[in-house]
């Protein structure tokens, strides 16, 4: 991204673990408040946080603005939905296999299939750069969106209902508290994976190439394969998040993969603060809270929401994560020395 | 009038190939319609230090960019260790052993000093005596105190040291320094020249571009003077020092 040069190096893992620990209290809060809605919101936050943290690998570390995240999210959701549909209708998916509603199988499959889609999209999109990359990922998002609309057998525009109960290692997972902890475990895994990648040589290459591709190449590092792997990992984790959403609401529809949903992911990641693993968690939480509270007051909640985002972007250039830095009195680490 | 003192470099005979580290023949390059290099030829042996001299806009940086693969030449050949590289992608040329300290330094501002150096070791060629982290830091002790600082938090001189350290870490057989002392305080410039003298003792081949001709004369073995995209003079440090006319004609600002 353009302001990569002034982006501070702040990659602490512990704030993300604190946030996850706080989120883990949501079911207790839900029981105490006697409000089942609380845990539903928390589940939604956790699911979107997985997609946002994953997007940060591409957006924050590699500096590539992708508008295809929702499509991979939807692909993951449809993998879970379609496999459950085949089991419910006793119709073979391929070679006599009747599908499955076992999440221990369908979640990894959703991760894999979305990752393959992302690798294919990335292989083409990463040939371009800058605004062209944004446009081509947007185009792929629309292609996959209309691809889902065209799936008449699986509900087309109306979406796909999951009617059979989903299981995890044979155990019913429809209990919303159990499901919440499943999603939270996935978020923890995502955070640990992205943090590990960002600190590795792999992450160093992504970050270096984000600010100066020519110099990365001049020390012998061609960034293209690194970016492709990052894009595929981001897409695969989006697929995992989409699979969890489909499982949690027992429903997936093309609306979950519309291009503006891709924009939402970018907003969540940027809102919380790019190039941290915890910023996107705050971003996802803030986004979903704001969406909920504003939409209960007015129909056109996007208008004040847009103003709030503008204010955050203009006043806190490091996103919401910068609030914590300010509170700690930490010096902003990225004052570039210009010659 | 000047022709008496100017020796044009003729095309090199192919019999010299094997001894040459770098051999550029009739190089033509430019930016779109604007041609910058018009049949430039130069060569250097392993262990040699040469300079490119000349005023601004004569094609020194363009020559460097062509060697490093950042600019595709429209004509001519570049041989590095006997292999044609003028059409090779830039990252391959770096992996063959061409290290560049670019004009303007261009360190990675969002990486720490440690990560900046580490970045260069990822795809470098393996050598008997590889540059290690410790060896780079022994050349630049100031960087050792700044390992976890962000690249953008360094002073200009420290950034230059980091840029050189980063290039060394690629295990280069040829190190190219483009205006490595530009814009630095005199005391820092002295440190950079001292570092280059130390690197010379290790036998590292270098191409150095700089405005400080006096320092270059003591560091380098031979000099090439460029004028309008061509080599118009070449000779040893002693010859350059003795030739007031070349200095006045091509090097005075």
End-to-end CA distance of chain B: 20
Q: What is the pLDDT of residue B173?
A: 95
Listed range (A85-89, A170-174, A175-179, A221-225) with the worst mean pLDDT: A170-174
Structure tokens at A53: 């943290």
Percent of all residues in chain A with a pLDDT value above 90, rounded to a whole number: 65
Q: What is the pLDDT of residue A295?
A: 79
Answer yes or no: is pLDDT of A173 > 90.
no
Show the DSSP H helices in B85-236 as ranges. 90-96, 113-119, 133-139, 141-144, 156-168, 186-201, 213-219
Of residues A204, A212, A337, nearest to B156 (C-beta): A337
CB-CB neighbors (< 8 A) of A218 in chain B: 68, 70, 90, 94, 100, 102
- A211 shares contact with chain B (CB less than 8 Å): yes
Q: Is residue B230 part of a domain?
A: yes
Residue B106 Cα, gap to closest chain A Cα (Å):
7
- The CA distance from B58 to B45, in Å, is 24
- The CA distance from B224 to B237, in Å, is 10
CA dist list (Å): A190 to A141, A183, A235? 23, 10, 12
Answer yes or no: is pLDDT of A242 > 80.
yes
* Parent domain of B42: 2-238
* CA A123 to chain CA centroid, nearest Å: 20
Residue range B40-47: average pLDDT?
95
A220, A224, A225, A330, best to mutate vs chain B, most B CBs in 10 Å: A220
Tens of pLDDT along B159-196? 999 999 999 999 999 999 999 999 999 999 999 999 99
Answer yes or no: is pLDDT of B15 > 50.
no
The mean pLDDT of chain A is: 88
Q: What is the DSSP letter of B150?
A: B
Q: Is residue B190 part of a domain?
A: yes
Q: Are A296 and A312 in contact (CB under 8 A)?
A: no
- B94 shares contact with chain A (CB less than 8 Å): yes
Tens of pLDDT along A249-292? 999 999 999 999 999 999 999 888 777 888 899 999 999 988 88
Q: What is the pLDDT of residue B78?
A: 97
Residue A188 Cα, gap to closest chain B Cα (Å):
26
Answer yes or no: is pLDDT of A325 > 70.
no
Confidence class of residue A329 from pLDDT cuts 50, 70 and 90? low
Tokens 């379609």, residue located: A82
Contact A218 B183 (CB under 8 A): no
Contact B106 A212 (CB under 8 A): yes
Q: What is the DSSP letter of B48?
A: -
Structure tokens at A289: 């809270």
Q: What is the pLDDT of residue A328?
A: 60
Tens of pLDDT along B52-72? 999 988 999 999 999 999 999
Contact B183 A334 (CB under 8 A): no
Q: Is residue B245 part of a domain?
A: no
Q: Is residue B249 part of a domain?
A: no
Tens of pLDDT along B194-250? 999 999 999 999 999 999 999 999 999 999 999 999 999 999 999 999 998 988 888
Residue range A178-199: average pLDDT?
95
* E strand or H helix that includes residue B22: strand B20-31
Q: Is residue B53 part of a domain?
A: yes
Indicate the pTM of the whole model.
0.87
Q: What is the pLDDT of residue A222?
A: 94
Contact B166 A219 (CB under 8 A): yes
CA neighbor of A162 nearest in space, from A48, A221, A250:
A250
Tens of pLDDT along B58-113? 999 999 999 999 999 999 999 999 999 999 999 999 999 999 999 988 999 989 99
**Total number of domains constituting chain B:** 1
CB-CB neighbors (< 8 A) of A217 in chain B: 70, 89-91, 94
Q: What is the pLDDT of residue B40?
A: 95
CA dist list (Å): A241 to A69, A189, A196? 11, 12, 19
CA neighbor of A257 nearest in space, from A243, A269, A277:
A243
Here the CATH number for the domain that contains residue B64 is 3.40.50.300
Structure tokens at B142: 């100031």
Confidence class of residue A2 from pLDDT cuts 50, 70 and 90? very low
Between residues 98 and 137 of chain B, which touch chain A (CB distance below 8 Å)? Answer: 100, 102, 104-112, 115-116, 118-120, 122-124
Chain B residue with CA closest to A60: the answer is B110
Q: What is the pLDDT of residue B253?
A: 60
CA neighbor of A241 nearest in space, from A64, A46, A17, A39:
A46
Between residues 169 and 208 of chain B, which touch chain A (CB distance below 8 Å)? Answer: 169-170, 183
Q: SS3 for B95?
A: helix
List CB contacts of B228: < 8 A, sequence separation 6 or more. B38, B58, B59
CB-CB neighbors (< 8 A) of A330 in chain B: none
Residue range A300-329: average pLDDT?
72
- A331 shares contact with chain B (CB less than 8 Å): no
Contact A205 B119 (CB under 8 A): yes
Q: SS3 for B47?
A: coil
Exposure class string for A90-115: b at 16+ Cβ within 10 A, else e = eeeeeeeeebbbbbebbbebbbebbb
Tens of pLDDT along A66-102? 999 999 999 999 999 999 999 999 888 888 788 899 9
Q: Are A247 and A166 in contact (CB under 8 A)?
A: yes
Residue B124 Cα, gap to closest chain A Cα (Å):
7
Answer yes or no: is pLDDT of A106 > 90.
yes
Residue range A16-29: average pLDDT?
93
Answer yes or no: is pLDDT of B11 > 60.
no
CB-CB neighbors (< 8 A) of B153 in chain A: 333, 335, 337
Q: What is the pLDDT of residue A300?
A: 78
Q: What is the pLDDT of residue B48?
A: 96
CB-CB neighbors (< 8 A) of A6 in chain B: 109, 152
Q: Are A219 and B119 in contact (CB under 8 A)?
A: yes
B67, B110, B115, B174, best to mutate vs chain A, most A CBs in 10 Å: B110
CB-CB neighbors (< 8 A) of B170 in chain A: 219-220
Contact B152 A336 (CB under 8 A): yes
Contact A211 B108 (CB under 8 A): yes
Top mean pLDDT of A7-16, A299-308, A327-336 is at A299-308
Q: Are A228 and A126 in contact (CB under 8 A)?
A: yes
Q: Is residue B122 part of a domain?
A: yes
Tokens 């590795």, residue located: A200
Confidence class of residue A338 from pLDDT cuts 50, 70 and 90? very low
Answer yes or no: is pLDDT of A11 > 80.
no
For residues B4, B10, B13 and B19, what is the CA-based torsion angle, rounded to 10 degrees? 80
Beta bridge partners of B20: B45
SS3 string of chain A?
CHHHHHCCCCCCCHHHHHHHHHHCCHHHHHHHHCCHHHHHHHHHHHHHHHHHHHHHHHHHHCCCCCCCHHHHHHHHHHHHHHHHHHHHCCCCCECCECCCCEHHHHHHHHHHHHHHHHHHHHHHHCCCCHHHHHHHHHHHHHHHHHHHHCCHHHCHHHCEECCCCCEECCEECCCHHHHHHHHHHHHHHHHHHHHHHHHCHHHHHHHHHHHCHHHHHHCCCCCHHHHHHHHHHHHHHHHHHHHHHHHHHCEECHHHHCHHHHHHHHHHHHHHCCCCCCHHHHHHHHHHHHHHHHHHHCCCCHHHHHHHHHHHHHHCCCCCHHHHHHHHCCCCCCCCCCC
Percent of all residues in chain A with a pLDDT value above 70, rounded to a whole number: 90
Answer yes or no: is pLDDT of A5 > 50.
no
Residue B115 Cα, gap to closest chain A Cα (Å):
7
């Amino acid at each position: 991204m353009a302001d990569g040069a002034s982006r501070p190096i702040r990659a602490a893992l512990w704030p993300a673990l604190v946030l996850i620990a706080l989120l883990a209290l949501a079911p207790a809060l839900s029981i105490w408040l006697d409000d089942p809605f609380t845990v539903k919101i928390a589940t939604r936050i956790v699911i979107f946080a997985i997609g946002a943290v994953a997007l940060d690998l591409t957006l924050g570390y590699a500096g590539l603005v992708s508008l295809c995240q929702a499509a991979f999210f939807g692909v993951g959701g449809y993998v879970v939905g379609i496999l459950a549909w085949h089991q419910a209708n006793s119709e073979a998916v391929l070679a006599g296999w009747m599908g499955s509603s076992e999440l221990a199988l369908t979640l990894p499959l959703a991760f894999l299939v979305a990752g393959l889609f992302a690798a294919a999209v990335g292989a083409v999109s990463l040939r371009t750069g800058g605004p062209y990359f944004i446009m081509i990922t947007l185009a792929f998002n629309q292609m996959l969106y209309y691809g889902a609309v065209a799936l008449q057998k699986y509900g087309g525009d109306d979406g796909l209902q999951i009617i059979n109960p989903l299981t995890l290692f044979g155990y019913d997972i429809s209990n919303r508290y159990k499901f919440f902890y499943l999603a939270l475990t996935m978020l923890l895994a995502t955070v640990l994976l992205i943090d590990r990648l960002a600190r590795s040589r792999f992450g160093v290459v992504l970050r270096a190439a984000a600010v100066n591709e020519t110099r990365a190449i001049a020390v012998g590092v061609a960034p293209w394969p690194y970016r492709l792997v990052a894009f595929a990992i981001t897409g695969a984790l989006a697929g995992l998040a989409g699979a969890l959403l489909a499982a949690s609401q027992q429903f997936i529809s093309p609306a979950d993969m519309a291009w503006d949903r891709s924009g939402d992911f970018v907003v969540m990641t940027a809102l919380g603060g790019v190039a941290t693993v915890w910023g996107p968690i705050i971003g996802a939480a803030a986004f979903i809270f704001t969406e909920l509270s504003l939409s209960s007051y007015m129909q056109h909640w996007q208008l004040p929401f847009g103003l709030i985002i503008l204010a955050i972007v203009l006043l806190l250039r490091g996103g919401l994560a910068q609030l914590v830095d300010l509170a700690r009195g930490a010096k902003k680490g990225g004052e570039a020395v210009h010659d | 009038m000047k022709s008496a003192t100017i020796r044009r470099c003729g095309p090199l005979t192919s019999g010299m190939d094997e001894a040459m580290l770098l051999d550029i023949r009739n190089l033509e390059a430019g930016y779109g319609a604007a041609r910058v290099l018009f049949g430039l030829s130069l060569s250097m042996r392993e262990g040699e230090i040469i300079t490119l001299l000349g005023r601004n806009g004569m094609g020194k940086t363009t020559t460097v960019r062509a060697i490093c693969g950042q600019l595709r030449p429209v004509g001519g050949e570049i041989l590095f260790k006997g292999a044609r590289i003028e059409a090779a992608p830039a990252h391959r040329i770096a992996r063959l052993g061409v290290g560049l300290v670019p004009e303007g330094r261009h360190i990675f501002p969002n990486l720490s000093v440690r990560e900046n150096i580490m970045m260069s070791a990822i795809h470098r060629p393996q050598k008997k005596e590889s540059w290690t982290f410790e060896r780079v830091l022994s050349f630049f002790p100031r960087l050792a105190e700044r390992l976890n600082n962000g690249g953008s938090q360094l002073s200009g001189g420290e950034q230059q040291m980091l840029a050189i350290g980063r290039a060394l870490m690629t295990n280069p057989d040829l190190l190219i320094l483009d205006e490595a002392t530009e814009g630095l305080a005199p005391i820092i410039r002295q440190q950079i020249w001292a570092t280059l003298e130390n690197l010379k003792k290790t036998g590292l081949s270098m191409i150095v571009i700089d405005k400080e001709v006096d320092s270059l004369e003591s560091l380098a073995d031979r000099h090439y003077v460029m004028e309008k995209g061509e080599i118009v003079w070449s000779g040893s440090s002693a010859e350059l020092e003795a030739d007031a006319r070349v200095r006045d004609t091509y090097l005075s600002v």
